[in-house]
A and B are shown apart, each in its own frame.
Chain A
Amino acid sequence: MKKSKNEKDAKKRYEEYVSRFTPGSRSVSNGIKAFVVGGALCSAAFVVQNFIQQNFGLESKEAGTIVTVGLIFAAQLLTGLGLYAPLAKFAGAGVIVPITGFANSMVATAMEFKSEGPVLGVGSKLFQLAGPVIVCGISVSVIVGLIYYVMGIFDFKLPWV
């Protein structure tokens, strides 16, 4: 239903009224936790990647892939064990924004709908939250590729690249 201007104003007034009764999130401590945990997670990934690179004679890209896969597996295992939700409750974006959050969202939804069977339950719900991420990410990458192709034809380059 289209809302009239009056309705919108009334809604806004009520929202302002309600905000007087609503406590804010503890943003400062939340922010610090997200920053520290997120930074630490990335640093750990970096250290492990370097270790693999040096000790197994792999290229940086290969080592990076191994670390990514490792992070995904670890996050999903923690999710299965029921430990990821409490972790995310504490660290917030610190573990939601890294690739681990994406991995968690897949297992969490899939596991929840296990009672609907391995195909229609687990199989489809694996993508309930991750689906939009993959769809948008891949679609944007295709558009980027196309634009890049056209730019190549006209030999156009972004001045700052």
Chain B
Amino acid sequence: MADNKLGRQTVTFKNFPQIYTAFSTAGKKEGRGPLGNWFDSILEDDKIGQKTWEEAETKMLKDTVVGAVRKAGIDKHEIDVIFNGDLINQLMSSSYAVRELGIPFLGLYGACSTMSESLIMAGAFVNAGYSKYAAAAASSHFCTAERQFRMPLAHGNQKPPSAQLTVTGCGCALLRESEGAAGCCEGKPVYVTGGTIGKIVDKGINDTNMMGAAMAPAAVDTIETHFRDTGRDPEFYDMIFTGDLGKIGKNIVKDMLGKKGFDMTKNYEDCGCMIYGEDQDAHSGGSGCGCSGSVLCGYIFQNMKKGIFKNVLIVSTGALLSTISTQQGESIPGIAHAVAISTEKERV
């Protein structure tokens, strides 16, 4: 019966749910980075007139969803379900953002892997015919994440070069069934053709300044599984993106997959390495749900629309730790989900 799956972990969407529109928002610092021109919206200041940082993240997420809806030219009540998540305890930002939108809501916690997780879920709902329009979103905010997971903003300290910076940013992709979807927005149609659901991989890293190293083995496992399940290889894709491994994690992925016989040196990038410039003092790179969220919904989506990328594999990576697990000395469980996106209706 299960004819929409390959191997154990890979799903294939034979009805080709289409990413109808995508909207990305970035914080001030991210907006000044190398990808600044690709974001749909850049915050003028990271508090956007709100009382608290949490309210600011909520507003950013809400505005991003509204932006995607507006781009599609539909009413928000036409959206049947939204899958989204963030980093704050009990998905505070997501719940409060959706509270004001009135869209049926399934909250997801995948830490920084949330964007590909929500994309797989929204794709599955649309593919199965449960939804006509389904939204997938993820957000993170430097100031809310930093005070929950790390040190307060004004605290004087020095971060090691392996540390990463939580991205203030948000992405929302609006999916719909491709049947009868008149060419919305200029450019090529972009389809979610399938995905590989990751397993938790934990190599025992418990230093929260080593997120890239903690998550890289999960990305390696998921990417390898994706290739084995689908029979594809790195060459099949124009680009493969991981979410937020940073410089260290990116090099680990290249090395580990290289040893397994997959050449990742040509067409592989990490969103965390792309979002900040060398002069922006981001140490190893960006992290957070909003990292792959904003890069996917901005840079990657627009490049696919333009036809520059035809086949893309996006592998958002997450570190499923909590503040309690850190204090108890537990190691950091890593996870990664891969989503195959294409401008062609080609089955995974």
What total count of A-B pairs have CB within 8 Å? 91
Q: What B residues does A63 contact at CB under 8 A? A: none
- A:93-147 near B, CB below 8 Å: 95-96, 101, 104-105, 107-109, 111-113, 115, 129
B221 to chain A, nearest CB (A): 13
- In the complex, the answer to whether B154 meets A21 with C-beta atoms within 8 Å is no
Q: What B residues does A14 contact at CB under 8 A? A: 203-205, 213, 217
Q: What A residues does B331 contact at CB under 8 A? A: 11
B48 within 8 A of A: no
What residues make up the interface of A, taking CB atoms closer than 8 Å to B? 1, 3, 7-8, 10-11, 14-15, 17-18, 21-25, 30, 79-80, 82, 84-85, 87-89, 92, 95-96, 101, 104-105, 107-109, 111-113, 115, 129
Q: What B residues does A92 contact at CB under 8 A? A: 158
Beyond the given A10-B203, A18-B205, A23-B162, please list 7 additional residue pairs across the A-B interface where CB-CB is below 8 A.
A22-B162, A22-B210, A95-B156, A101-B156, A108-B153, A112-B152, A115-B54
CA–CA, A7 and B53, complex, Å: 40
Q: What B residues does A115 contact at CB under 8 A? A: 51-54
Q: What A residues does B157 contact at CB under 8 A? A: 85, 88-89, 96
CA–CA, A111 and B52, complex, Å: 12
B70 within 8 A of A: no
- In the complex, the answer to whether B204 meets A85 with C-beta atoms within 8 Å is no
- In the complex, the answer to whether A112 meets B203 with C-beta atoms within 8 Å is no
Among A1, A22, A87, which residue has its beta carbon within 8 angstroms of that of B156? A87
Among A18, A82, A111, A113, which residue has its beta carbon within 8 angstroms of that of B210? A18
Per-residue interface assignment for chain B, residues 251 to 262, with 1 indicating a CB less than 8 Å from any chain A CB and 0 otherwise: 110010000000
Q: Which residue of B lies closest to A114 (CB)?
A: B52
